[in-house]
Chains A and B, each alone.
Chain A
Amino acid sequence: MQFFLARKLRNISTILMLMLYFSACKNSSSSLEKIQKYSIHILDMSGKEYVLTTDDLDAGSINPDEVTEALPDSISRDIIVKDGNYYHLARKSDVFTKYALKNHKLAAVSKLQLKDFDQENFIWVGKDSLLLSGLNHGFNMGRYYLINTKEMSIIAFGLLDIGQPTGKFITTSIGFVKKRKDTLFVGYTFHPPMRNGTFTTSDTIYVSRLVYPSMKSIGLEKEVRSTYPAGVNNVQTNEFTDEKGDFYFMSCPGIAMGNRPELPTAIFRIKHQSLQIDKAYFFNLSTLIGNHAYGLWYLGNGKAIARLERKDLFKGLADHYSTPHFEFYLLDIAKQKVVKKLDLPLDKGTRKDCIIIDRDKVYIAVNSETDGNYIWNYDLITDKLTKGLKLGGVTAFIVRLDKLVD
């Protein structure tokens, strides 16, 4: 009798547990919050990162530690943000995770296990189709994953048929991937082994043309006017396609990327009907401004902003990120002219994706030692710069600014 009573009690408790579980599920799904327009990624002095969202970048003040918690170590700034979701590939585990905001925190929605994959670049080839391109863990073979981000399923994966390092070169860096109909342009370069703590890069930019989606090579071009094409585009943007369909990318030979500082930071172009880099076009920023740049953002109407370092203000790589020395320049892409230096305080942080364009407004996140951490609003119509949202509290660097919804 006692036995049956006990079993009955256990059944009742199981039912209660299930009811609790389902009500919890209901609560958690209803706690998926309204998606705000902008996402801001913060890094503090101790290396902790925070993601917060807002609808207003023009005014107000937010302390990240007051509105959210620090991200777990498994997520970092190298995220892809689209339509209210965040995507991140964990370096060690090769797990690709989709996150959504829940109670002001990133919560994993679903995961995909990738294999032997180190991400270098991403492009959206459809609304829910994400092409990740990168390398194997030996960093010497091109690999890709085509992912359906709605279902979180792998559509295709395999080798990218690009050149491999030979001779004194042992690793590859893929700097950009541009899709044009059934052709994929893949820009990359090679590196010899690091010696005595210094790394360097081949003096050549390689651009392979691959057939999409077979990823088989149909052409290879070598460009020697500079090296290290573009960069890792989930950390910083260095390329864009204009209204005509012309594709532009900036080389990054400065110490923070290619470390061939004797070569110029320059913008290159592949015109929309051409399969080759435009030999008549060479927007040499190093000659015009006298420094190297990391970061190039297109504003529309032939205008772009580049973020240039000040070599007279930092000593080397060790203080490159912590010294405020970055300046923003407005560029006329077609005329290959520097329009002006934007009147902003010196910014710090080596690589940041700190600019977004929202119609006629350009938002620029600046971490100034003297003026504080602000999102600046550059009005393209009035040509005026104004201080907007302040990031306070633990904020040391604003490493990303994203449009969470378009």
Chain B
Amino acid sequence: MKINADLIEKYHDDRCTPEERKAVEDWLLNCEVDDLEFHSEKDKQITKADIWNGLDAILPKEEVAKVVPKSASFYMWKGAIAASLVIGLLSFAFYYFNQSRPTAVDFVAFHNKSSLKVNHINAREYDLSVGPETFAEVNENNGIIDLSGSILISPKKDIDLNFGGAKSKVSLKKGQTYIILNYNTGNQGLLVVNEKNLIHLPPVMQKKLTYEFGI
């Protein structure tokens, strides 16, 4: 079932059928982000800006539910979407922080679609910068990370990452910064390099990574 603004509005007004309710809740707890259907492109832009502003303000804090969109001039359903996202985020936070896997990473998925910008994420166990055009997902059952792209990670404690396959278990030390590259195309395989050892990479890759991550 395609989730759209009308359906979310119905959900908040408690007018959903059990099927619709389940679809909305599945959507909220799902980490795959589909584009929402909007009434107009203008609405989309306004909502987008609003959601980003809202997220900026709430992300570092735990009490995210208290933050609501500021302006009353927005259409009713936009507030609902923002609130839904907030609920979704809270659910995520609750879900991740309550998992007890001491050596596993606490992200489940991220996707940086930008071809230029790096996304920065602060978590309990690490600081993470996600390179352009990078996708990663942790399999909840076996903890194996499916990475395609480049990440810069600084663990706050010793952690093990498992990228699947033989020789793909990577132990990272607290306080160090690592660059991890993995692409499904090409023959290069999984590359893990400590930031201080960047010189060992081919010069062209060094240039790309120092420029991209600002290191």
Contact = CB atoms under 8 A, between A and B. Distances in A.
Interface of A: 43, 47, 73, 76-78, 91-92, 118, 120, 137-139, 171, 173, 191, 193-194, 196-199, 201, 231-232, 235, 255-257, 259, 315-319, 321, 350-351
Nearest to A71: B196
B191 A196 contact: no
A321 B215 CA distance: 23
A43 B199 CA distance: 12
Contacts of A235: 199
> Nearest 4 CB-CB pairs, A to B?
A197-B183, A318-B189, A316-B187, A317-B188
Contacts of A315: 187, 189
Contacts of B199: 76-78, 235
A196 B185 contact: yes
A197 B194 contact: no
A259 B149 contact: no
A318 B186 contact: no
24 contacts: A43-B197, A47-B196, A76-B199, A91-B210, A92-B215, A118-B207, A120-B203, A138-B211, A173-B203, A191-B204, A191-B207, A197-B149, A197-B181, A197-B182, A197-B183, A197-B188, A198-B183, A199-B208, A201-B204, A255-B188, A255-B202, A315-B187, A316-B189, A318-B189
Nearest to A75: B196
A116 to B, nearest CB: 13
B46 interface: no
Contacts of B190: 318
B198 A91 contact: yes
Contact of A171 (B197, B198, B200, B207): B207
A344 B25 CA distance: 65
Contacts of A91: 198, 210
B150 interface: yes
Contacts of A257: 202-203
A191 B207 CA distance: 11
Given A47-B197, A77-B199, A137-B211, A194 B204 contact: yes
A319 B189 contact: yes
A323 B189 CA distance: 14
Contact of A259 (B150, B181, B196, B202): B202
Given A197-B182, A317-B191, A73 B196 contact: yes
Given A91-B198, A259-B202, 7 more contacts: A76-B197, A173-B204, A194-B204, A194-B205, A255-B188, A255-B202, A316-B186
B200 A232 contact: no
Interface in B18-77: none
Contacts of A120: 203
Nearest to B194: A47
A78 B197 CA distance: 11
Contacts of B191: 317-318
A213 B203 CA distance: 27
A193 B189 CA distance: 19
Nearest to B205: A199
Given A91-B210, A315-B187, A316-B188, A259 B204 contact: yes
B189 A196 contact: no
B18 to A, nearest CB: 43
Contacts of B194: 47
Nearest to B177: A73
Contacts of B198: 91
Contacts of A259: 202, 204
Contacts of A350: 200
Contacts of B149: 197
Contacts of B189: 315-319
A152 B71 CA distance: 60
B200 A198 contact: no
Contacts of B183: 196-198
B24 to A, nearest CB: 35
B182 to A, nearest CB: 7
B123 to A, nearest CB: 24
Nearest to A318: B189
B181 A139 contact: no
A197 B204 CA distance: 11
Contacts of A194: 204-205, 208
Contacts of A73: 196
Tell which of A139, A173, A232 has the most Cβ of chain B within 10 Å.
A139
A227 to B, nearest CB: 12
A171 B196 contact: no
Contacts of A255: 187-188, 202
Contact of A198 (B186, B207, B210, B215): B186
A150 B181 CA distance: 42
B204 A171 contact: yes
Contact of B203 (A196, A198, A232): A232
A199 B202 contact: yes
Contacts of B208: 171, 193-194, 199
Contacts of A318: 188-191
A201 B203 CA distance: 11
Nearest to A191: B204
Nearest to B210: A91
Of A197, A255, A318, most buried by chain B (CB within 10 Å of CB) is: A197
A144 to B, nearest CB: 18
